[in-house]
Structure 1
Amino acid sequence: MSDSISTFFDAWQIEDANDRLDQITRAVTVGILYDDPRTPNTVTGIDALSHYVGMFSANAPGWSAKVVSKDTIGNVTRANIAFSGLDPDGVEKTQIGQYFVEKEGDLISRMVGFVGTGEQ
Structure 2
Amino acid sequence: MSDAITAFFDTWGLSDDVARAKAIASVYSENGTYADPRAQEPMTGPSAIAGYINMFSANAPGWTAKVVKSDEIAGLQRATVAFAGMGPDGKEMVQLGQYFAELDDGKITRLIGFVGTGEPA
| TM-score normalised by structure 1 residue count | 0.95
Aligned to 2:88: 88
Give the whole-Å Cα distance in 2 for the aligned partners of 1:22 and 1:34. Answer: 17
2:104 corresponds to 1:104? yes
Relative to the length of structure 2, the TM-score reads 0.94
Show the counterpart of 1:36: 36
Structure 1 SS opposite 2:114: strand
* Secondary structure in 1 matching 2:98: strand
Deviation, structure 1 residue 15: 2.3
CA apart distance, 1:38: 1.1
- TM-superposed deviation, 1:103: 0.1
Instruction: State, as a whole percentage, how many aligned pairs show the same letter.
Output: 48
Q: What is the aligned length?
A: 119
The alignment partner of 1:7 has SS state of helix
Deviation of 1:25 (Å)? 1.0
- Equivalent residue for 1:8? 8
Gaps of 5+ in 2: none
Q: CA RMSD in A?
A: 1.1
Structure 1 segments unaligned to the other structure (5+ residues) = none
Aligned ranges 1:60-75 → 2 under 5 Å: 60-75=60-75
1:46 corresponds to 2:46: yes
